[in-house]
A and B are shown apart, each in its own frame.
Chain A
Amino acid sequence: MGENIFVLGTLVAPLAGAVVALLFAKNNHAQRLVGLISSIVAWIFSTRVLLQVHQKGVQTYELGNWPPPYGIVLVADSLGGLFAFMVTTIMIGGMLYTLHSHDRCMTYPAFVPLFLLMEVGLVGAMLTGDLFTLFVFMELMVLASVSLTAISDDQFGLEAALKYILISSMGTLFLLLGIAAMYAALGTLNMADMARILLTGERPFLAPASALMLLCAFLLKSAVFPFHFWQPDFHTTAPTPVSAMLSSIVVKVGVYGIIRLVTLLFIVEAPLLQRWLALLGIIGVIFGSLGALRTYNAKRMLAYSTFAQIGFILVGIGWGNTLAMIGAIVYAFNHAFIKSSLLMLMGVVASYTKVKTANFASIVGIGHKLPPLAGWLVLVGGLSLAGVPPLNGFISKLALIRGGVAQQDWVNLILLVSAGILTLIYMVRAWQQIFQRAPIPETTPTKEAGDSLLAPMLLISICLILGIVLAEPLLQLVTETVREIGDPNTYISAVRLRLEGP
């Protein structure tokens, strides 16, 4: 029996942490400790799940012992397991940052529970094998992140949160409409069962329509070109650890969903979808890089950069050959670490100003107040984002470009490489502005102490390890993952559908 309790544990650990943290509503420090402990427990579980997936194959857990496709089943295949591992690892960084932060919003009793609920939503969306449950978890994640941004110290947080929830709920509606259309067409909600029916060659009238609706919903969640306009505001105004999570792992839910759509559910429609994905991705790459180049705020620059980096991943999915898929998944994995550490570093920089702003006008030369380590961390993170060897950003760019060469799509390749050079320009310029220029005392009222550098240090060192020591194992892991998701029958047979009933 594939009753792996650890798949459930990865989900339940942060959920239990949220409940326990609510019990400690009066004691803020205890709340943060509970958050850290439960995210570490979730990380241990997800690591174990990932190891088991690669030793024994797909792990499942049938909730309440209801056999699929009638009951809800949690499925950790190599793709879901890898993404869940990424989420729980970065979540530890977020909780570590929260532990030593001085933001006012983190003293509210609801902060830590909401943060953990966001993790539940993320992990749940990546581990569920049921399309409707995916919707519920995604909505949980959206509601938690909206609440977290609305209570941000930044006065514009509220407005950005309202803007996001109104736009995102349109995406949610289309997701729900797509799910209803799939149910009408196929009579099931289990993804393995849907894939089984669609593989038999049956093409109900509603299936292509619902493919498009699901795709739009996922594109909206990961802020891809026509649906991106909420993203820079929302990611800039969120509290620092939250914005680090939003820009690194929350956008990856959409990427995960898109990979599932093109590799598991709609294999026949995939070439058409992928052509569009490559086009939208390249538009995102260009406009995201140009937007990051001309923005006035360091956090906003990184938010635009996320817009561009998601474009890189989508181009990889759009190329669709094995090497490009490996590149896209490695890119998604590495980008999460780089972007979360960089946003936390900008949060640390902003915490040294009186009004907690990351506007370039206010943080010019503030680096002299910070510990000298901060400058090196920002430089390493920036170079990694731009893809300079030997950092992990280089590994992911290299893997992606190999896919492009295999596809012989030279135009897009040239655009991607030039966008990488733009990344180098804006990251080095930001570093120079903050750490190299002389401070302007009258325009930058600063504080003597700020947030701790511990969490970004941890994440940057993971970036270094991923670039130097673990680059080859990661590539092998992802190669196996791509081989596994290349054959939907692995996923379908692992769920062990019992269609006749008990």
Chain B
Amino acid sequence: MIEFMFALAIGMLFGIGVFQLLRRDLIKAAIGFAILFSAINLFFVAVSAFEGEYAPFVSNVEAGRQTSDPLIQALILTAIVVSFGSFSLVLGLVNIISLRYGTVDSNAVNNLKH
């Protein structure tokens, strides 16, 4: 049951994220980008969080209990750092665009179209 809920949540987050990313408003697009990254992180959790019942300590492993996967948490942590870096860079670029063009409407930011 919980796996189905996870799949549903990931799918919804992915849908909302893609929808936001395609908005005309660049700030909304940037936030859609952050939502998409949360969807991926949730996918990482769903991949292997439900296998064990105990925290992955050495004592639990030695006692023969089935522990959850510790690697996935390190991966998500790294993915969060990377996505936070790109998200802040996107927001910085949008900020400079809003100062230079006076708008964040992506239809108005079209100087590249020759």
Please give the residue numbers on chain A whose beta carbons come within 8 Å of chain B beta carbons, in ascending order: 132, 135-136, 139, 142-143, 146-147, 150, 155-156, 158-163, 165-166, 169-170, 172-173, 176-177, 180, 183-184, 187, 189, 233, 296
Contacts and interface: CB of A to CB of B under 8 A. Distances in A.
Given A158-B97, A159-B97, A143 B89 contact: yes
B77 to A, nearest CB: 12
* B interface: dominant SS: helix
Contact of B86 (A156, A161, A165): A165
B90 A136 contact: no
3 nearest A-B residue pairs (beta carbon): A184-B47, A162-B93, A139-B82
Contacts of A156: 111-112
A169 B97 contact: no
Interface in B70-114: 71-72, 75, 78-79, 82, 85-86, 89-90, 93-94, 96-97, 100, 109, 111-112, 114
17 contacts: A132-B75, A139-B86, A156-B112, A158-B93, A159-B97, A159-B109, A159-B112, A165-B90, A166-B90, A170-B36, A173-B37, A180-B40, A183-B44, A183-B48, A189-B71, A189-B75, A233-B112
B37 to A, nearest CB: 7
Contacts of B75: 132, 183, 189
A485 to B, nearest CB: 27
Interface of A is mostly: helix
Contacts of B100: 158
A163 B75 CA distance: 27
A294 to B, nearest CB: 12
Interface of B: 21, 26, 29, 33, 36-37, 40, 43-44, 47-48, 71-72, 75, 78-79, 82, 85-86, 89-90, 93-94, 96-97, 100, 109, 111-112, 114
A165 B89 contact: yes
A183 B71 CA distance: 10
Contacts of A172: 86
Given A150-B93, A159-B97, 19 more contacts: A132-B75, A135-B82, A136-B82, A143-B85, A146-B93, A150-B96, A158-B97, A159-B112, A162-B26, A165-B90, A169-B33, A169-B36, A169-B86, A173-B40, A176-B40, A183-B47, A183-B48, A184-B48, A189-B71
Nearest to A236: B112
Contacts of A161: 93
Given A139-B86, A147-B89, A166-B29, A160 B21 contact: no
Contacts of A187: 48
Contacts of B71: 189
A180 B85 contact: no
A159 B96 CA distance: 10
A177 B40 contact: yes
A136 B29 contact: no
Contact of B79 (A143, A150, A155, A176): A176
Contacts of B72: 183
B18 to A, nearest CB: 9
A471 B33 CA distance: 46
Contacts of A155: 111
B111 A159 contact: yes
Contacts of B94: 162
A135 B82 CA distance: 10
A165 B40 contact: no
Contact of A136 (B33, B48, B78, B112): B78
B113 to A, nearest CB: 10
B37 A143 contact: no
Contacts of A142: 86
A334 B78 CA distance: 35
B29 to A, nearest CB: 6
A169 B93 CA distance: 14
Contacts of B43: 177, 180
